[in-house]
């Protein structure tokens, strides 16, 4: 019975899907709407799930659902394709200082400030522990792009975290 | 191994997405280079910070809602199964005869796909997803259609895939795959069907050639201003895949 299989293969990833959607939307209510829509779609297209990677499959649907909502609302400014890399930060602080200085709230703010294309690869890699291949399947970009986005996301995040709190306030 | 090289591979090294020999070379370099060790430690710290973020869990309301919804689908399916069985019994009794799609229905659809083809070229809306990579075009349709269209590149046969988009044909959302042959665009419209048509249908409407066939319960409609010979070649290549 397909719906039982759906319940057993897809619903176990509901929390992960919500966490991903929450980082995409930055709002609880929006994340809930996106995940609900995505799961309803997933139920309908369940027969298109070919391999056993239900998590990447569900995440891709979550992302498509989210993306069509924001583009419909005209609320997104997609990453320009010709965006050049940021200059590398040569003066890195020791890790201990980084860790001490930053509370959870500060890191969350810094992550939320990142362009969503950078934020999501960090969440998928660090929090979900996905491989580059899995991330590529979710985000629907080549693996090379996943790699460069991750590198730039980490560069930016460490730079934001090292900038002064005052600068962060202004940036918001 | 020089420091610049390490910088290039820093992320794939930390993410264990690098070949074993390259990883060994990096480890060897790190043994002797303090500034690179520092860089690695810093990068690891950033990862740890992200991992220390609280995990947002789906609210109970959402869990409940979706479980209920899944179960309801199951009950509905049971009802459908019983209804289908009832219809079958009646049909065997000779009361109902199945109506096959008529030729005029296909003629109308051929007109609709030509409209779709022309619209895509005139409105300059040929692509929703522009890619020559079938592995990017296929997942793009995920979550946008209630079926998964077969997507193959035919560059080897001289008809490169250039993208895809959502389209409407005969009042239903369909997948449109776009192929190119020199200056000619070929649109292939795909949607599920119950028909088991074996042959290839052919039409010429308003200067466009149309070919229609069914494969794996998917209705395929190819439209182009390409000459008939090359369009037939294209269809043959697509059906071979």
Structure confidence at residue A91 as a pLDDT band (50, 70, 90): very low
In the predicted structure, residue A95 carries a pLDDT above the cut 90: no
**Distances from the Cα of A9 to the Cα of A4, A58, A133, A136, angstroms:** 9, 10, 20, 21
Give the nearest chain A residue to B131 (CA atoms): A141
Do the Cβ atoms of A94 and B38 come within 8 Å? yes
CB contact (8 A) between residue B53 and residue A11 = no
Q: What is the pLDDT of residue B76?
A: 67
Is B118:B225 a contact under the CB 8 Å cutoff?
no
Q: Do A158 and B42 touch (CB under 8 A)?
A: yes
The CATH code for residues A94-171 is 1.10.10.10
More confident residue, B196 or B58: B58
Higher-confidence residue: A73 or B7? B7
Query: In B, residues 59-78, which contact A (CB 8 Å cutoff)?
Result: 59, 61-63, 65-67, 69-71, 73-74, 77
Query: Looking at chain B, which residue has its C-alpha nearest residue A39?
Result: B66
Write out the DSSP string of A78-143: PPPTTPPPPPP---PPPHHHHHHH--HHHHHHHHHHS-HHHHHHHIIIIIS---HHHHHHHHTS-H
pLDDT in tens, A24-50: 999 999 999 999 999 999 988 887 776
Element at B181 (helix H, strand E): strand B172-181
What is the pLDDT, as a whole number, of residue A1?
46
Q: Is the confidence at residue A170, as pLDDT, over 60?
A: no
Higher per-residue confidence, B93 vs A132: A132
Contact residues on chain B for A154, CB-CB shorter than 8 A? 11, 43, 46-47
- Fold classification of A2-73 is Rna Polymerase Sigma Factor; Chain: A (1.10.1740)
Is residue B218 over pLDDT 90?
yes
Q: Where are the domains of chain A?
A: 2-73, 94-171
Q: Do B56 and A111 touch (CB under 8 A)?
A: no
Min Cα–Cα distance to chain A from B213, Å: 22
Q: What is the pLDDT of residue A50?
A: 67
Most A CBs within 10 Å: which of B18, B50, B151, as the mutation test of the A interface? B50
Residues, chain A: 172
Q: What is the pLDDT of residues B69-127, one digit of tens each?
A: 887 776 666 666 666 666 555 555 444 444 444 456 888 899 999 989 988 887 777 88
Structure pTM?
0.56
- Cβ separation A154–B54 shorter than 8 A: no
Comparing CB atoms, the residue among B38, B140, B143 nearest residue A65 is B143
Predicted local confidence at residue A85, as pLDDT: 40
Which residues in chain B are closer than 8 Å to A127, comparing Cβ atoms?
A: 50-51, 53, 55
- The distance of A99 to chain B (nearest Cα, Å) reads 7
- Chain B nearest CA to A167, separation (Å): 19
More confident residue, B112 or A166: B112
**pLDDT for position B176:** 96
pLDDT of residue A166: 41
Chain-chain contact of B56 with A142 (C-beta, under 8 angstroms): no
Q: How far is CA B149 from CA A104, B44, B62, B116, B214, in A?
A: 44, 42, 30, 18, 12
β partners of residue B163: B130, B178
Residue B13: pLDDT band with limits 50, 70, 90: very high
pLDDT of A7 reads 81
B48 contact residues in A (CB cutoff 8 A): 99
| Range B208-213 average pLDDT | 92
Highest mean pLDDT among A75-79, B102-106, B134-138, B216-220: B216-220
How close is the nearest chain B Cα to the Cα of A170, in Å? Answer: 22
Picking from B234, B9, B225, B1, the residue whose alpha carbon sits closest to that of residue B117 is B225
Partner A contacted by B19 (CB < 8 A): no
Q: Are A136 and A142 in contact (CB under 8 A)?
A: yes
Give the minimum alpha-carbon distance from B58 to chain A in angstroms, rounded to a whole number. 5
- Given this chain, do its domains A2-73 and A94-171 carry the same CATH topology? no
Tell me which of A151, A155, A156 to substitute to probe the interface with B (most B C-beta atoms closer than 10 Å). Answer: A151
pLDDT winner (highest mean) among A48-62, A152-166, B88-102, B152-166: B152-166
Interval A103-121 mean pLDDT: 90
pLDDT at B30: 92
The model's confidence at residue A88, banded by pLDDT at 50, 70 and 90, is very low
- Residue to substitute from B58, B59, B76, B136, interface A, most A β-carbons within 10 A: B58
Q: Identify the weakest region by mean pLDDT among A42-46, A166-170, B42-46.
A: A166-170
Using pLDDT thresholds of 50, 70 and 90, give the confidence band for residue B189: very high
Predicted confidence at residue A169, as pLDDT, reads 42
Report yes or no: B193 at the A interface, CB cutoff 8 Å.
Answer: no
Q: What is the pLDDT of residues B126-141, one digit of tens each?
A: 888 888 888 889 989 9
On average, the pLDDT of chain B sits at 84
Determine phi and psi for B180, rounding to 5 degrees.
-130, 140
pLDDT value for B36: 92
Mutate to test the interface with B, among A9, A25, A36, A57 (most CBs of B within 10 A): A36
């Amino acid at each position: 019975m397909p719906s039982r299989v759906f319940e057993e293969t897809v619903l176990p990833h509901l929390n992960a899907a919500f966490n991903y959607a929450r980082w995409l939307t930055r709002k609880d209510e929006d994340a809930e709407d996106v995940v609900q829509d995505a799961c309803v779609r997933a139920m309908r297209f369940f027969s298109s799930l070919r391999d056993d990677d239900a998590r990447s499959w569900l995440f891709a649907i979550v992302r498509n659902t989210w993306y069509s909502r924001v583009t419909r609302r005209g609320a997104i400014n997609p990453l320009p394709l010709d965006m050049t890399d940021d200059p590398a930060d040569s003066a890195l602080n020791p890790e201990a200082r980084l860790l001490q200085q930053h509370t959870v709230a500060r890191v969350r703010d810094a992550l939320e400030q990142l362009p969503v294309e950078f934020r999501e690869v960090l969440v998928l890699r660090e929090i979900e522990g996905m491989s580059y291949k899995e991330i590529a399947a979710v985000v629907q970009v080549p693996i090379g792009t996943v790699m460069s986005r991750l590198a730039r996301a980490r560069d930016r995040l460490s730079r934001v975290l090292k900038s002064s709190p005052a600068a962060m306030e202004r940036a918001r | 191994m020089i420091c610049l090289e390490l910088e290039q591979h820093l992320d794939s090294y930390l993410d264990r997405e690098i070949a074993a020999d390259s990883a060994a070379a990096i480890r060897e370099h790190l043994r002797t280079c303090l500034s690179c060790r520092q860089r690695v430690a810093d990068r690891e710290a950033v990862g740890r910070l992200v991992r220390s973020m609280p995990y947002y869990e789906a609210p109970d309301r959402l869990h409940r809602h979706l479980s209920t919804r899944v179960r309801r689908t199951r009950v509905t399916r049971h009802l459908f199964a019983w209804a289908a069985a009832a219809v079958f019994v009646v049909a065997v009794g000779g009361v109902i005869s199945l109506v096959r799609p008529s030729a005029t229905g296909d003629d109308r659809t051929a007109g609709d796909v030509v409209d779709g083809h022309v619209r895509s070229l005139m409105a300059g809306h040929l692509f929703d997803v522009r890619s020559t990579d079938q592995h990017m075009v296929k997942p793009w349709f995920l979550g946008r259609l209630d079926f998964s269209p077969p997507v193959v590149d035919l560059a080897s046969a001289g008809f490169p895939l250039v993208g895809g988009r959502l389209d409407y044909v005969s009042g239903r959302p369909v997948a449109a795959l776009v192929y190119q042959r020199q200056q000619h665009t070929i649109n292939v419209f795909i949607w599920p069907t119950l028909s088991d048509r074996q042959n290839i249908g052919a039409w010429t409407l308003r200067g466009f050639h149309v070919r229609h066939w069914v494969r794996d319960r998917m209705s395929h409609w190819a439209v182009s201003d390409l000459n008939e010979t090359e369009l037939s070649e294209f269809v043959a290549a697509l059906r071979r895949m």
